[in-house]
């Protein structure tokens, strides 16, 4: 309250009260009038009670009334715009708007642009489509926006269907917009009535909220001719709990040309927008997309487009978390997008997924789950579930899982991080990285044509602690320089487990496979080719350090010339001969100064290494020797490789001879007296596999050094190794048999028998 000046109490003749009382009263009245001015005018509420599109009879009298004596939507918006101050509400009268064919407002022209705070708030009904949705529909004109908002704040658009317009809702320079529970592009009867653009959030519309986390707060955005939702030149927008590109039931496609696009505009970057949320444990307990999860499916193009084609350039700092891309509303079936699930383009600081449970996106179908570049500085793709890893019956992306092109990056600090994703494919490339390097760590890739591919880089990537299995080709493929491949687990590759490939005239150099600790060793099992294959020109140098594995069909390290008849890569370095070996150590020859690594073997297979025994350096004359960390039993296999100038040889293989053993051989190892047959034991076998997939059998024996013979469907026993793999294309039932043979030639008289079935 303003300060009141106290005056002397002097009685005035003829006055009933002292002057100071009359002065004080006058001041208080004036102050009360000031406080009751236009800035606190009461908000109006208008109730639309007609579907007719008629104008207000008397504009500005705060009464919504047409010449027909009704309150139309057009009249209500016009009166709200004319009302000074306050937050008005426009509601739809029950009994007039009931979610059926008679609840449609057919617009004759664009409605007045909303320029003042307003809540356009409908109700929920059981619609004619059979789904719970809006009670009222606004049918627009294909050449104009149906609803437009400009130059105000705190506008809410809730629970209306908007169809057939150029843009269902067009917004510019509107802060703190709320849009929830609406249908854009789908009529109340469930039929397609698409807008060209469903919702357009234009420049200056920061802090908008599209959808919500609670039941009924998400929007249905479908059947759009260009894009379902575009956000151009606005920041801190949150998109939550919406359904894109599906019918009201959410189980079939109602395609947008593209579901969601975010872009910057001149002078107005689109910064720090969020698509989805960290889904709570309660919401994640069911397969359905809820709790703020956006369902982004069924489009004729991409699911999410960050390329900037909707504006003047890409957005900055977009977070995409907790969504389902290419699924239906139940989370149990596919409604794929035709293109890429998340198309990043060159958008900087994009985060897809996140470090904690509930951050992951489930992405199925389409061409690729995530595609980025060229560029995309500081990209993070983490903990997402892709293809069949999102569910066994889901369609995998046809081309690849995560495809990143970083060729236009300028600084190493901008390199991508591809972490802890789970990718299940049927062909294609699980993770592809080209251009600048990336950190590719902790991912699981299964069933791809190539598991992880690194190519055309400025410098090398770190490929660490990934699990790659069941690939049709190489599990890890390096086609560029300077990569480190550490601590990965590779199983059942259809070609080499880890392959380095360099074409003439330059080849590839400075790759390192494995490290100098147990944690850095790659484990490579069951490859149809070599465990590690290096194919390049002679003048290339790639190092193979500590690794281990078993059941590989080829050599553990295989050097292959770039062209037939040319020398081997790694300067054609030769395996270091093991000149002498005993149970306590080994010695041999190598290039002077070469680093010699020695390994223990558990079988005679050239594709197996059991463990690392130690390393040494060849002296100036090329001699090397190594004492083992513990005594090796007679007959134990030992392998050695040498590395010089960063290039590693193939393995020289020998065994501890019986004559050099310092202790008596264990029972059963003397071939002259051993008459006891070995026993075969099955470790793992399938009961049912799909046609064309690998049926894999793992087995062992109770005697060290035993070999094996296998038979399929009654055929003759033939030599084999564990794991034994069959790829059968015709459905039917089959019988697999395996028996062990010990070093003395004794054969297990009771082969292990396992039946399995190949199904369509």
Taking residues 460-471, report their average pLDDT.
Answer: 96
Taking residues 233-258, report their average pLDDT.
Answer: 98
Kindly state whether residues 651 and 692 are assigned to the same domain. no
pLDDT, tens only, 653-667: 999 987 433 333 444
Kindly state whether residues 654 and 596 are assigned to the same domain. yes
Confidence of residue 722 (pLDDT cuts 50, 70, 90): confident
Written as one string, the DSSP assignment of 173-215 is EEET-EEES-EESB-TTS-B---SEEEEE-TT-TT-EEE-SST
CA distances from 219 to 30, 131, 179, 263, 293 (A): 49, 13, 8, 21, 12
In a domain, 587, yes or no: yes
Kindly state whether residues 740 and 707 are assigned to the same domain. yes
The pLDDT, as a whole number, for residue 744 is 78
In a domain, 286, yes or no: no
Domain containing 626 — which CATH number? 2.60.40.10
Please give the Cα distance from 609 to 551 (Å, whole number). 10
Kindly state whether residues 577 and 656 are assigned to the same domain. yes
The pLDDT, as a whole number, for residue 465 is 98
Domain extent at residue 650: 572-660
Kindly state whether residues 577 and 654 are assigned to the same domain. yes
Taking residues 423-445, report their average pLDDT.
Answer: 96
Kindly state whether residues 690 and 650 are assigned to the same domain. no
Kindly state whether residues 719 and 641 are assigned to the same domain. no
In a domain, 733, yes or no: yes
Kindly state whether residues 607 and 655 are assigned to the same domain. yes
Taking residues 52-71, report their average pLDDT.
Answer: 95
Kindly state whether residues 577 and 652 are assigned to the same domain. yes
Written as one string, the DSSP assignment of 410-439 is --GGG-EEEES-EEE-SSSEEEEEEES-EE
Could you tell me which of 701, 698, 742 has the C-alpha nearest to residue 722? 698
Q: Which of 632, 660, 688 is the last residue of a domain?
A: 660
Q: Which of 629, 660, 691 is the last residue of a domain?
A: 660
Kindly state whether residues 581 and 655 are assigned to the same domain. yes
In a domain, 588, yes or no: yes
Please give the Cα distance from 719 to 212 (Å, whole number). 63
Confidence of residue 1 (pLDDT cuts 50, 70, 90): very low
In a domain, 566, yes or no: no
In a domain, 460, yes or no: no
pLDDT, tens only, 402-427: 999 999 998 889 999 999 999 999 99
In a domain, 494, yes or no: no
Confidence of residue 670 (pLDDT cuts 50, 70, 90): very low
669 pLDDT higher than 60? no
Please give the Cα distance from 657 to 193 (Å, whole number). 83
Number of domains in the chain: 3
Kindly state whether residues 655 and 586 are assigned to the same domain. yes
30 pLDDT higher than 80? no
Please give the Cα distance from 545 to 520 (Å, whole number). 9
In a domain, 512, yes or no: no
3-state secondary structure 44-60: CEEEECCCCCCCCCCCC
Q: Which of 597, 632, 660 is the last residue of a domain?
A: 660
pLDDT, tens only, 479-519: 999 999 999 999 999 999 999 999 899 899 999 999 999 99
């Amino acid at each position: 309250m303003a300060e009141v000046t106290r005056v002397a109490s002097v009685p005035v003749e003829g006055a009933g009260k002292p002057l100071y009382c009359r002065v004080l009263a006058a001041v208080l009245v004036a102050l009360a009038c000031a406080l009751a001015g236009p800035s606190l005018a009461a908000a109006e509420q208008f109730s639309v009670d007609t579907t007719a599109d008629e104008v207000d009879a008397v504009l500005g009298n705060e009464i919504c009334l047409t010449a027909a004596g009704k309150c139309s939507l057009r009249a209500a918006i016009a009166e709200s715009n004319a009302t000074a101050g306050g937050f008005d509400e426009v509601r739809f009268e029950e009994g007039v708007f009931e979610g059926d064919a008679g609840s449609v407002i057919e617009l004759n022209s664009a409605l007045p642009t909303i320029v003042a705070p307003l809540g356009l708030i409908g109700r929920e009904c059981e619609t004619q489509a059979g789904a719970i949705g809006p009670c009222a529909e606004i049918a627009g004109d294909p050449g104009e926006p149906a609803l437009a908002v400009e130059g105000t704040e705190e506008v809410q658009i809730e629970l209306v269907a908007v169809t057939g317009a150029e843009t269902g809702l067009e917004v510019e320079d509107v802060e703190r917009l709320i849009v929830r529970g609406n249908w854009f592009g789908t009529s109340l009867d469930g039929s397609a009535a698409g807008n060209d653009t469903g919702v357009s959030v234009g420049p200056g519309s920061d802090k908008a909220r599209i959808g919500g986390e609670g039941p009924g707060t998400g929007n249905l955005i479908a059947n759009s001719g260009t894009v379902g939702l575009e956000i151009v030149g606005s920041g801190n927008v949150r998109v939550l709990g919406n359904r894109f590109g599906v019918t009201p039931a959410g189980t079939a496609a109602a395609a947008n040309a593209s579901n969601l696009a975010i872009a910057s505009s001149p002078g107005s970057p689109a910064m720090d927008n969020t698509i989805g949320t960290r889904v709570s444990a309660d919401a994640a307990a069911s397969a359905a997309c809820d709790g703020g999860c956006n369902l982004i499916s069924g489009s004729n193009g991409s699911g999410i487009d960050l390329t900037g084609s909707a504006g003047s350039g890409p957005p900055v700092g977009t977070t995409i978390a907790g969504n389902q891309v290419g699924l239906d509303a139940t989370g149990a079936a596919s409604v794929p997008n035709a293109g890429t699930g998340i198309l990043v383009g060159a958008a900087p600081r994009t985060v897809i997924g996140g470090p904690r449970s509930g951050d992951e996106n489930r992405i199925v179908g389409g061409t690729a789950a995530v595609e980025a570049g060229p560029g995309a500085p500081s990209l993070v793709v983490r903990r997402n579930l892709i293809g069949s890893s999102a569910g066994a019956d889901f369609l995998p992306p046809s081309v690849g899982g995560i495809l990143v092109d970083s060729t236009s990056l300028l600084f190493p600090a901008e390199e991508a991080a591809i972490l802890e994703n789970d990718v299940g494919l049927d062909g294609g490339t699980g993770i592809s990285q080209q251009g600048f390097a990336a950190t590719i760590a902790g991912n699981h890739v299964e069933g791809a044509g190539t598991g992880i591919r690194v190519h055309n880089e400025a410098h090398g990537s770190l490929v660490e602690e990934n699990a790659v299995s069941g690939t049709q080709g190489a599990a890890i493929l390096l086609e560029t320089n300077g990569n480190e491949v550490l601590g990965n687990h590779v199983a059942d590759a259809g070609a080499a487990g880890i392959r380095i490939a360099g074409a003439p005239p330059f080849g590839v150099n400075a790759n390192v496979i494995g490290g100098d600790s147990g944690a850095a060793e790659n484990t490579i099992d069951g490859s149809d080719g070599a465990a590690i294959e290096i194919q390049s020109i002679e003048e290339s140098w790639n190092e193979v350090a500590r690794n281990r594995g078993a059941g590989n069909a080829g050599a553990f390290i295989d050097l292959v010339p770039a062209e037939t008849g040319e020398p081997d890569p790694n300067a054609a370095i030769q395996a270091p001969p093991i000149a002498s070996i005993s149970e306590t150590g080994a010695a041999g020859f190598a290039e002077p100064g070469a680093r010699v690594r020695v390994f223990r073997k558990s079988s005679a297979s050239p594709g197996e290494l059991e463990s690392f025994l130690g390393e040494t350096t060849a002296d100036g004359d090329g001699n090397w020797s190594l004492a083992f960390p513990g005594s090796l039993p007679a007959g134990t296999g030992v392998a050695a490789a040498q590395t010089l100038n960063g290039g590693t040889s193939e393995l020289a293989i020998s065994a501890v001879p019986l004559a050099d053993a310092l202790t008596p051989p264990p029972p059963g190892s003397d071939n002259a007296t051993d008459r006891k047959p070995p026993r075969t034991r099955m470790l793992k076998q399938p009961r049912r596999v799909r046609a064309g997939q690998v049926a894999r059998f793992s087995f062992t024996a109770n005697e060290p050094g035993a070999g094996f013979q296998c038979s399929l469907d009654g055929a003759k026993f033939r030599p084999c190794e564990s794991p034994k793999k069959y790829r059968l294309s015709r459905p039917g039932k089959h019988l697999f048999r395996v028996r062990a043979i010990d070093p003395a030639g004794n054969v297990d008289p009771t082969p292990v028998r396992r039946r399995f079935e190949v199904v369509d």
